[in-house]
Amino acid sequence: MNGMRFDGRVAIVTGAGAAAGLGRAHARLLARRGAKVVVNDLGTGPDGKGIERAHAEWVVDEIRADGGEAVADTNSVADEKSAEAIVQGALDTYGRVDILVNNAGIVRLGEFDAISSDDITQSIDVHLMGNIWMCRAVWPHMSEQGYGRIVNVTSIAMWGARLTVIYGTVKAGILGLTRGLAVEGAEHNILVNTLAPRANTTAFYYFNDNSAPALKTDRPPEAVAPAVAYMCHEECALNGAYVAAGGGHVAVGVFGTTAGYDCGPEITVEDVRDNIAAIKETSGFSEFPEDLIHSKLALKEQFVAQ
Give residues with Cβ within 8 angstroms of 6, minimum separation 6.
30, 33, 34, 35, 99, 229, 232, 233
pLDDT tens digits, residue range 234-261?
A: 999 999 999 999 999 999 998 889 999 9
Orientation of helix 225-232 relative to helix 22-32, angle to 10°: 50
User: Does the active-site annotation cover 205?
Assistant: no
Is the predicted pLDDT of residue 148 greater than 90, yes or no? yes
Is the predicted pLDDT of residue 66 greater than 70, yes or no? yes
Query: Predicted confidence band at 210 (pLDDT cuts at 50, 70, 90)?
Result: very low
Give residues with Cβ within 8 angstroms of 136, minimum separation 6.
80, 83
Query: Predicted confidence band at 200 (pLDDT cuts at 50, 70, 90)?
Result: confident
Look at the pTM and tell me if it is higher than 0.75: yes
Higher-confidence residue of 145 and 285: namely 145
Domain 256-305 in CATH 1.10.287? The answer is: yes
Secondary structure element (H or E) that encloses residue 196, with its range = strand 190-197
Measured in degrees and rounded to the nearest 5, phi and psi for residue 244 equal: -100, 130
10-252, CATH topology level? Rossmann fold (3.40.50)
Choosing from 94, 147, 167, 242, which is the catalytic residue? Answer: 167
Higher-confidence residue of 212 and 16: namely 16
Burial class (CB in 10 A: 0-12, 13-18, 19+), 196: buried
Bridge-based pairing of strands 190-197 and 99-102 is unpaired
Alpha-carbon distance 58 to 62, whole Å?
A: 6
Give residues with Cβ within 8 angstroms of 111, minimum separation 6.
162, 163, 165
Percent of the chain with pLDDT over 90: 74
Alpha-carbon distance 178 to 195, whole Å?
A: 10
Domain boundaries, the chain: 10-252, 256-305
pLDDT tens digits, residue range 279-293?
A: 999 998 888 765 555
Give the residue-averaged pLDDT of 183-203.
90
